[in-house]
């Protein structure tokens, strides 16, 4: 059986490291950005990154996934692959340049209707639109190498992309003192340099023969994916769009910092999910009995719960201390946001587990409706909570909507395969985490710090006790040492 827990914890491949690093870029640069940017400027950065994410998701037309799918279908036919790459890239580049030009020349009048006073259309929005164009074309390069299973190259490309954007951002913010605009320019220049260096090497795979049938294939496969991805983007970014209407840019800056720190949990659960999914498919495709498959699912889930819930609780308990070490005093008010977002992305991890049977049994047609309903709930809750509770209302809306998403997907998933995840134990762990949040609100002192450590240790022991049957292998190893 190809499935093994060792391969899960080792990771999907070197590729996962590069992807994690790219996603973690915002977190890794927080100490620098918070030192040189005011909360108001950080709010502008957070808002424009949300706009960038929306543009990049909508305008890619799902071509990344279509490119991967076509590569696997015709990987032994270099001529077809070359024609497909040429046709889809010419179409994509032509359409994107046209859209970006239209927005650049005539988008200001539409943008003015949004009444966003703190962020001028020129140069902020224009730079963001063209950054989205470059990001999409660069992602075509990365996704092609991923389809070809050149994982080390993919990791290297992702690292270089991250490094390029980070270096230019630091230069613009620290050396040229450009504030929020420096970050926007840094992203643009970083993507531009990456494009100029690597896109033309990718273009060597093209066969110069345009065929509309390839474009139709890409659109037919890719456009439906956009709606599913867009639901996820709206889930993650609609709060900032609504916050801009109800709170100051300074408050939005606090929320952005808190959200980025809380996203550490998202990075972890996503990375582990990427490692788990190939092994899950191997396990479910094997000749093992259903009972053994259920046991293996529960065993991995037990390890996952111990690791992720412990990290989540540690982050919640010591958020104030972490913010004290990483950020200036004007950002310390983001601690409450970090805690709620950590819990929200912990729920996202539960969603990944619950969704696995849906992917394995190819029932993905229902996913856009399920994730879409979660995104809609998130927007509704934001509209209700933000006018009353401000940035904390947005964080709570995120937590509730992710809990809803995990719950709904769980009940749908068990219709196809039910590993019997022992829900009562999950509830006990969640209850412990929620109750422990109260302790984190006390001001720092040696006594409180010791209490927090004690609570964390008790929680770890409790989790091991709840899943003791699955930790038997490790306890035997410890006894033999």
Q: Would you call 363 helix, strand, or coil by DSSP?
A: coil
Q: What per-residue confidence (pLDDT) applies to 12?
A: 47
Q: Is pLDDT larger for residue 383 or for residue 476?
A: 383
Q: Is pLDDT larger for residue 15 or for residue 215?
A: 215
How far is CA 158 from each of CA 29, 194, 377, 426, rounded to the nearest angstrom? Answer: 16, 10, 33, 35
| pLDDT band at 476; cut points 50, 70, 90 | low
Task: Compute the 3-state secondary structure of the chain and give helix, strand, coil in percent, each to the nearest 5.
Answer: 85, 0, 15
Q: What per-residue confidence (pLDDT) applies to 463?
A: 93
Q: Is pLDDT larger for residue 83 or for residue 288?
A: 83
**Sign of the CA dihedral running 169, 172, 177, 183:** negative
Residue 365: pLDDT over 80: no
Token couple for 56: 């990049």
Least confident of 74-78, 97-101, 328-332, 421-425: 74-78
Residue 70 CA from chain centroid, whole number: 25
- What is the rounded distance in angstroms from the CA atom of residue 423 to the CA atom of residue 460? 18
- What is the rounded distance in angstroms from the CA atom of residue 381 to the CA atom of residue 386? 8
CA-wise closest residue to 166 among 155, 261, 158:
158
Q: Is pLDDT larger for residue 352 or for residue 251?
A: 251
Residue 378: pLDDT over 70: yes
User: Which pLDDT tens digit goes with each residue over 261-276?
Assistant: 998 888 888 778 777 7
Give residue limits of the domains in the chain.
1-11+247-481, 37-235
The mean predicted confidence, pLDDT, of the chain is 88
**Are the beta carbons of 237 and 50 closer than 8 angstroms?**
yes
User: Which pLDDT tens digit goes with each residue over 347-358?
Assistant: 999 998 898 898
- What is the rounded distance in angstroms from the CA atom of residue 481 to the CA atom of residue 475? 10
Residue 345: HSE in the Cβ half-sphere, 13 Å Cα cutoff = 27
**Are the beta carbons of 85 and 67 closer than 8 angstroms?**
yes
Q: What per-residue confidence (pLDDT) applies to 248?
A: 94
Q: What per-residue confidence (pLDDT) applies to 364?
A: 72
Residue 8: pLDDT over 60: no
Q: What per-residue confidence (pLDDT) applies to 10?
A: 45
Least confident of 55-69, 70-84, 113-127, 276-290: 276-290
| Cα dihedral 223/226/228/231 (nearest 10) | -140
User: In percent, how much of the chain has pLDDT > 70?
Assistant: 92
End-to-end CA distance of the chain: 29
Residue 203: pLDDT over 60: yes
Contacts of 189 (CB under 8 A, 6+ apart): 164, 168, 172
Which residues in 138-171 are b (16+ Cβ under 10 Å) and which e? bbbbbbbbbbeeebebbbebbebbbebbbebbbe
């Amino acid at each position: 059986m190809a499935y093994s827990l060792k391969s899960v914890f080792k990771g999907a491949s070197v590729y996962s490291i590069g992807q994690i690093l790219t996603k973690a870029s915002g977190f890794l640069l927080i100490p620098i950005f918070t030192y040189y940017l005011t909360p108001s400027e950080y709010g502008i950065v957070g808002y424009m990154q949300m706009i960038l994410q929306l543009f990049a998701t909508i305008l890619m037309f799902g071509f990344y996934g279509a490119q991967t799918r076509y590569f696997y279908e015709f990987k032994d036919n270099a001529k077809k692959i070359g024609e497909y790459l040429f046709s889809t890239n010419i179409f994509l580049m032509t359409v994107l340049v046209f859209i970006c030009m239209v927005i650049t020349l005539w988008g200001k009048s539409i943008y003015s209707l949004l009444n966003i006073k703190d962020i001028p259309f020129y140069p902020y929005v224009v730079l963001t639109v063209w950054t989205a164009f470059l990001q999409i074309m660069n992602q075509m390069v990365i996704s092609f190498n991923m389809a070809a299973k050149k994982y080390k190259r993919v990791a290297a490309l992702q690292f270089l992309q991250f490094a390029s954007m980070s270096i230019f951002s630091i230069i613009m913010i620290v050396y040229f003192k450009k504030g929020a605009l420096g970050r926007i320019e840094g992203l643009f220049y970083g993507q531009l340099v990456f494009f100029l260096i690597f896109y033309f090497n990718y273009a060597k795979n093209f066969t110069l023969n345009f065929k509309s049938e390839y474009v139709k294939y890409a659109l037919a496969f890719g456009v439906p994916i956009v709606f599913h991805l867009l639901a996820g983007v709206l889930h993650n970014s609609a709060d900032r769009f609504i916050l801009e209407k109800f709170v100051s840019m300074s408050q939005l800056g606090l929320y952005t910092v808190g959200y980025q720190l809380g996203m550490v949990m998202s990075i972890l659960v996503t990375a582990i999910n990427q490692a788990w999914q190939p092994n899950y498919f191997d396990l479910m495709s094997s000749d093992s009995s259903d009972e053994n498959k259920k046991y293996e699912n529960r065993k991995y889930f037990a390890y996952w719960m111990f690791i992720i819930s412990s990290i989540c609780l540690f982050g919640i308990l010591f958020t104030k201390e972490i913010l004290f070490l990483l950020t200036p005093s004007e950002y310390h008010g983001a601690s409450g946001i970090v805690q709620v977002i950590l819990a929200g992305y912990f729920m996202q991890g539960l969603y990944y587990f619950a969704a696995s049977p849906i992917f394995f049994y190819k029932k993905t047609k229902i996913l856009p409706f399920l994730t879409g309903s979660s995104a809609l709930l998130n927007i509704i809750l934001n509209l209700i909570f933000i006018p009353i509770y401000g940035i904390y209302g947005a964080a709570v809306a995120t937590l509730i909507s992710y809990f809803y998403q995990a719950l709904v997907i769980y009940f749908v998933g068990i219709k196809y395969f039910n590993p019997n995840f022992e829900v009562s134990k999950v509830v006990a762990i969640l209850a412990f985490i929620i109750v422990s949040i109260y302790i984190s609100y006390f001001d720092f002192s040696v006594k409180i710090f010791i209490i927090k450590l004690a609570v964390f240790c008790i929680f770890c022991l409790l989790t091991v006790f709840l899943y003791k049957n699955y930790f038997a292998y490790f306890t035997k190893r410890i006894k033999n040492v």
